[in-house]
Structure 1
Amino acid sequence: MLRRLSARHQSWPLAAPFRISRGVKHSAEVVVVKIRQGALSGRGEGVPYARYGESIDSVLMQVRAVAGLVEAGATRGDLARALPPGAARSAIDAALWDLEAAASGEAVSTALGHGPPQPLTTALTVGLDTPERMAEAARSLAGAALVKIKVDASRPEAQIRAVRRHCPDARLIVDPNESWNIDLLRTLQPVLAEARVDLVEQPLPAADDAALAGLGPAVPMCADESCHVGDDLPRLRGLYQAVNIKLDKTGGLTEALRLLAAARADGFRIMVGCMICSSLGIAPALQVAREAEFVDLDGPLWLQRDHAGGARTRAGLLSPPEPGFWGEPVPLALRGAR
Structure 2
Amino acid sequence: MHRTLTVLGEVFPLATPFRISRGVKTAAEVVTVTIAQGDVIGRGECVPYPRYGESVDSSIAAIERLRPALESGMGRQELLDALSAGAARNAVDCALWDLELKLAGSDIAAATGIARPLRPLATAMTVGLDTPDAMERAAAVLSQVPLIKVKVDRGEPAAQLRAVRAAAPQPRMIVDPNESWTMAEVSDLQGLMRELRIDLLEQPLPAHEDAELGGFKSAIPIAADESIHVAADLDGLPDGYRVVNIKLDKAGGLTAALGLAAAARARGLEVMTGCMICSSLSIAPAWAVAAGSAFVDLDGPLWLSADRDGGVTGDNGHLLPPRPGFWGGI
Assess same fold via TM > 0.5. yes
> Which residue number in structure 1 is paired with residue 138 of structure 2?
137
Question: Residue 219 of structure 1 corresponds to which residue in structure 2?
Answer: 220
2:42 is matched with which residue?
A: 42
1:237 deviates by 4.3
1:22 aligns with 2:59: no
Give deviations 1:153-193, integer Å, cap 9, x for gaps: 00000111111111111100000000000011111110111
Residue ranges of structure 2 left out of the alignment (5+ in a row): none
Match of 1:54 in 2: 54
**Residue type of the alignment partner of 1:101:** L
- What is aligned with 1:95? 95
Which residue matches 2:304?
303
- What does residue 335 of structure 1 align with? none
Superposition deviation, residue 214 in structure 1: 2.5
SS at structure 1 position matched to 2:138: helix
Please report the TM-score for the alignment, with normalisation by the length of structure 1: 0.96
1:3-18 → structure 2 map (5 Å cutoff): 3-18=3-18
Letter in 2 for 1:109: A
Q: Could you say which residue in structure 2 is the equivalent of 1:151?
A: 152
Q: What do the CA deviations read for 1:263-306 (whole angstroms, capped 9, x no partner)?
A: 00001111000000000010000010001010000000000011
Which whole-Å deviations, capped at 9, do the CAs of 1:180-219 have from their partners, x for residues lacking one?
0001111111011111000000000000000112321111
- Structure 2 residue aligned with 1:31: 31
Indicate the residue corresponding to 2:192 in structure 1.
Answer: 191
Superposition TM-score, scaled by structure 2 size: 0.98
Counterpart Cα distance in 1 of 2:268 and 2:192: 26
Q: Which amino acid aligns with 1:132?
A: D
One-letter code aligned to 1:325? F
The sequence identity of aligned pairs, in percent, is 55
Matches within 5 A, 1:315-330: 315-328=316-329
How far does residue 101 in structure 1 lie from its aligned partner after superposition? 1.1
**Structure 1: any 5+ residue segments left out of the alignment?**
330-338
Counterpart of 2:329, as a letter, is: E
Map 1:220-299 onto structure 2 (within 5 A): 220-299=221-300
1:93-122, Cα deviation, whole Å (9 max, x unpaired):
000000011100001211222333211100
For residue 123 of structure 1, what is the aligned residue in structure 2? 124
1:239 positional shift: 2.2
Task: Give aligned pairs, total.
Answer: 329
Q: Which amino acid aligns with 2:249?
A: D
CA deviations over 1:204-238 (Å, ceiling 9, x no partner):
00000001123211111100000000001122141
Q: Which deviates the most, 26-35 or 184-193?
A: 184-193
Distance 2:238 2:181 in 1: 20
RMSD across aligned positions (CA): 0.8
Match of 1:334 in 2: none
Which amino acid is the alignment partner of residue 105 of structure 1? G
CA deviations on 1:285-332 (whole Å, 9 max, x unpaired) are 001000101000000000001111110111011111011000007xxx
Q: Structure 2: how far apart are the matches of 1:324 and 1:296?
A: 23
Matching of residue 208 in structure 1 with residue 209 in structure 2: yes
Contact 2:272 2:294 in 1 (8 A): yes
SS in 1 for 2:110: helix
Runs of 4+ in 1 over 6 A off after TM superposition: none
